Amino acid sequence: LQQRRGLRLSAPAAIQVTVRDALNQALDEELERDERVFLLGEEVAQYDGAYKISRGLWKKYGDKRVIDTPISEMGFAGIAVGAAMVWLRPVCEFMTFNFSMQAIDQVINSAAKTCYMSAGSIAVPIVFRGPNGASAGVAAQHSQCFAAWYGHCPGLKVVSPWSSEDAKGLLKAAIRDDNPVVMLESELLYGVPFEMSEQAQSKEFVIPIGKAKIERQGTHVTLVAHSRPVGHCMEAAAVLSKEGVECEVINLRTIRPMDIETVEASVVKTNHLVTVEGGWPQFGVGAEICARIMEGPAFNYLDAPAVRVTGADVPMPYAKILEDNSIPQVKDIVFAVKKALNI
């Protein structure tokens, strides 16, 4: 009636959604959409998930679609890989990716290599997902970032979301992909609300794997990060903007395949590059970005050496003050940008 009267209707407003709820929504929508999709892992069913990502799904879909497993990562990861080989679409949750080390033979030797070794006749459409990187006060054996580990391996796709839209769109894309996908989430982001657009609220919303996103436009320096450090970069950019330095912030979103073209285009514009990650420096994601820039056309546009901001090159300490000094902070990014700009 309002449209007939010539009145303009406003579009539905964006809403605030936590990363936890965005992941839950993605799982719910994909379980409903495709009966081949199922979720398995420790405590994912009756307990609603260790981090409540799978809240309500067991009650809705039952024992065959949401499966509690024994504490045996190699065992249930192997079951999931076998199921994927016969064209089911398992979502295999690791309570933390540190525990995926128990199943790395299944992830690498079984999932990642089978399509190539079978000359393309056997696809493995599986998602390995769970929290990755540092949490809070859980020490060395629960605080590693595996982006570089899994990003190193041909045959895998590796995604690492920051916002709620990232989480929903990338998880849905990963479930629909015919290749094994490793999805590295951040436990510290699960409860953080982000604005979710009307488009992202659609059941058909997916984010293409392999495409980075420019979160903030800038002209003086390019900041590249993934997962939680993207937020740190946004905070650092806001601080530096008050000092007249405009940072372009790139949310990498996908580790493999890496969208180096977006990074190159930004470096051509800003002439400076700073990479930020929570992982260790040696052979890290930032090291790969720097090498790719050096080997490509954007190198000739750099006015200063690229700078990496990483986690400290030590096992994660337990004490909070040591932990804080082992993880990149906003002040570290600000310092790195000023170093790159020589100010």
| Active-site residue, from 42, 93, 142, 215 | 142
3-state secondary structure the chain: CCCCCCCCCCCCCCEEEEHHHHHHHHHHHHHHHCCCEEEEECCCCCCCCCCCCCCCHHHHHCCCCEEECCCCHHHHHHHHHHHHHCCCEEEEECCCHHHHHHHHHHHHHHHHHHHHHCCCCCCCCCEEEEECCCCCCCCHHHCCCCHHHHHCCCCCEEECCCCHHHHHHHHHHHHHCCCCEEEEECHHHCCCEEEECCHHHCCCCCCCCCCCEEEECCCCEEEEECCCHHHHHHHHHHHHHCCCCCEEEEECCEEECCCHHHHHHHHHHHCCEEEECCCCCCCCHHHHHHHHHHHCHHHHHCCCCCEEECCCCCCCCCCHHHHHCCCCCHHHHHHHHHHHHCC
73 is catalytic: yes
142 is catalytic: yes
| Active-site residue, from 73, 187, 215, 323 | 73
Catalytic residues: 73, 142
